[in-house]
Amino acid sequence: MTALAGAAASTLDLLQLAPPGWGGNLLRGLANSVLIAAGAFGLGLGLGTLGAFGKLYGGPVLRDLLAVYTTVVRAVPELVLILILYYAVTDSVNQILLAFGYERIQISGLAAGIAVLGVVQGAYATEVLRGAIQSVPVGQIEAARAMGMPPGLLARRVTLPLMLANALPGLANLWLIATKDTALLAVVGFAELTQQTRQAAGATKAYFTFFMAAGLLYLLLSILSTWGFARLERRARRGLPEVRG
């Protein structure tokens, strides 16, 4: 009984926010993970939008280049991509800097993480958005054109909302993947949640406690995200009858 109480107390001590507890580190790690995931997701959306329009309406050269991009990124394991992109990008930036007589710089882990994961996300987002754009009913766009709606307004008020209804499930998936992929950045030493957890666990030998705590944080993030996306999707699908299997 006392042993159990003692174990519970020491677990709580370990997870205290202020040192010597490691809870603060874990939460900072979580914040970093969310920041990277959000940045990467945003960058991925931007790249994906360009990629989707390029694939649908671009010239043959652009389409070939985009095909190479999406194929390569989706074929190579993400961990390998991260290592390649991270080291290759940091290295080439420094090569260029040295060549021009500047000092070697330390590239911020945050910027590199966002860039690397964003490029990966962009490849998947290209395919999600391309499918969503293709599934917008042409007739509804034509109705807007026939009423003299200018292209910008048409994209904003007709095409985009109709597209979103089809894109949101795929985008929600991508966001969840982004949050989990941030864990891969632990291999390049970035202080995100997994890396912080490993450090805490290594220092205290309380592996079970810390990895359970990290697991719960990831779960919480995922549950909140799923709830948020479900709300967005319900709003985007307003007006469409529910399809039940």
Partner 1 sequence: MPDPRDARETVTDMPGQAAPARDEAIRVEGLRKSFGRLEVLKGVSLTAREGDVVAVIGGSGSGKSTMLRCINFLEHPSAGRIVIGGETVAMKSDGSPADRRQIERIRQSLGMVFQQFNLWTHRTILENLIEVPVHVLGVPRAEAVARAEALLARVGLAEKAQSYPAFLSGGQQQRAAIARALCMAPRAMLFDEPTSALDPELVGEVLAVIRDLAAEGRTMVLVTHEMKFAREVASHVIYLHNGVIEEEGPPDALFGNPQSDRLKQFLKSVG
Q: Where do contacts with partner 1 occur on this chain (CB under 8 A)? A: 137, 139-140, 142-150, 153, 157-158, 161-162, 165, 236, 238-241
Residue 147 CB, nearest distance to partner 1 (Å)? 5
Three-state DSSP at 197 gives helix
DSSP annotation of 158: I
* Residue nearer to partner 1 on the CB measure, 62 or 149: 149
* Residue nearer to partner 1 on the CB measure, 112 or 236: 236
Alpha-carbon span 135 to 52, nearest angstrom: 13
Peptide bond into 20 cis (omega under 30): yes
Residue 168 CB, nearest distance to partner 1 (Å)? 13
Which amino acid makes up residue 102? Y
Q: In this structure, are residues 54 and 66 in contact, taking their beta carbons and an 8 Å threshold? A: yes
**What count of other Cβ atoms lies within 10 Å of the Cβ of residue 163?**
20
* Residue nearer to partner 1 on the CB measure, 104 or 145: 145
* Residue nearer to partner 1 on the CB measure, 104 or 157: 157
Q: In this structure, are residues 82 and 118 in contact, taking their beta carbons and an 8 Å threshold? A: no
Q: In this structure, are residues 93 and 107 in contact, taking their beta carbons and an 8 Å threshold? A: yes
* Residue nearer to partner 1 on the CB measure, 57 or 102: 57
Give the number of residues written for the chain.
Answer: 245
